[in-house]
Structure 1
Amino acid sequence: MREGTQIILVNPRRQVLMYLRDDKPEIPYPGMWSLLGGMLEDGETPAECVRREIEEEIGVILDPTEIQHVRTRDLHYGVEHTFFARIAFEIDDVVLTEGQRLGWFGESDAAATGLAYEDNAILAEFFATPPAAVPVDAD
């Protein structure tokens, strides 16, 4: 069974960073918005994986002490480890190396968008009970 990670990256405006997946028929969920993340490599822990994936995908190095594990789900396509971290950068300050583009999504924007990998459920749960580090009200 496949094992992967994803991360809920939240800015000070309580928006979540997502990316529009490539529109290639050979990949899962082509052309859909998704949280950033990826598949574990041999010998890699989920936390190591999500940090590596973020560095590879947008060039951001996450402090391991700032990453929180949110939950692990057994899904029809494999095991998915979800993490959370606060971030403070603008999309124009990073370079996306995989996918079509990045976007910030507030709670209502995320709920109104059909997301890949059942991310709507994980974000609905996240926004309903965010970690203490996430502001309750958007600016």
Structure 2
Amino acid sequence: MISQEPMGTAAVITNGRGDYLLHLRDNIPGICDPGAWSLLGGGRDSDQESPADAIARELKEEAGLVLPDLLPYTVVTVQGPEGEGRITVFVGCWDGDAGELALTEGVMLHWFPAEMLPRLVMAAWARAVIEQHEQGRNGCG
């Protein structure tokens, strides 16, 4: 059976201070949101891989990050180099040092307070998701 779930995944990760963990993407042609700050995530490997399994795999592969308490948050539609797609976004908390993560894709990871985000070059969809998250947030997650 073919899954009708979105093929993309991402994670809104906050810490106890309310900062957001953002990923500076490589500035190379052919990828989504080149050179922009965005959320960690990536695509499902197949229709058989659930979005929850995909985001867990992507976080571990891209940053060595394991977050067992991720929760589904929203689904967004984005425009990428191959056309329109949908992303399942999860939320989770982590209080570690972004500089100590073993980043395997992109340029860097960094914590940012919400008030800093308007000053960053960001993926529009990621900015919108974080703004939505900020409006409804009660603590970490």
TM-score calculated relative to the size of structure 2: 0.85
Percent of aligned pairs with the same amino acid: 29
1:93-134 residue CA offsets vs partner (Å, 9 max, x unmatched): 21111001111111111233231151111110101102x452
Structure 1 gap ranges (5+): none
**Structure 2: how far apart are the matches of 1:89 and 1:68?**
19
Corresponding position of 1:30: 34
What value does the CA root-mean-square deviation take over the aligned residues? Answer: 1.8
TM-score calculated relative to the size of structure 1: 0.87
1:6 alignment partner, one of 4, 10, 29: 10
1:21 alignment partner, one of 18, 22, 25: 25
Q: How does 1:1-139 map to 2 (within 5 A)?
A: 3-42=7-46, 43-63=48-68, 66-76=69-79, 77-130=84-137, 132-134=138-140
User: Runs (4+) of structure 1 moved beyond 4 Å?
Assistant: none
- 8 Å Cα contact 2:22/2:39 also seen in 1: yes
Classify the secondary structure of the residue corresponding to 1:12: coil
Distance verdict in 2 for CA 1:109–1:11, change over 3 Å? same
Residue 9 of structure 1 and its aligned partner are, at CA, apart by 0.8
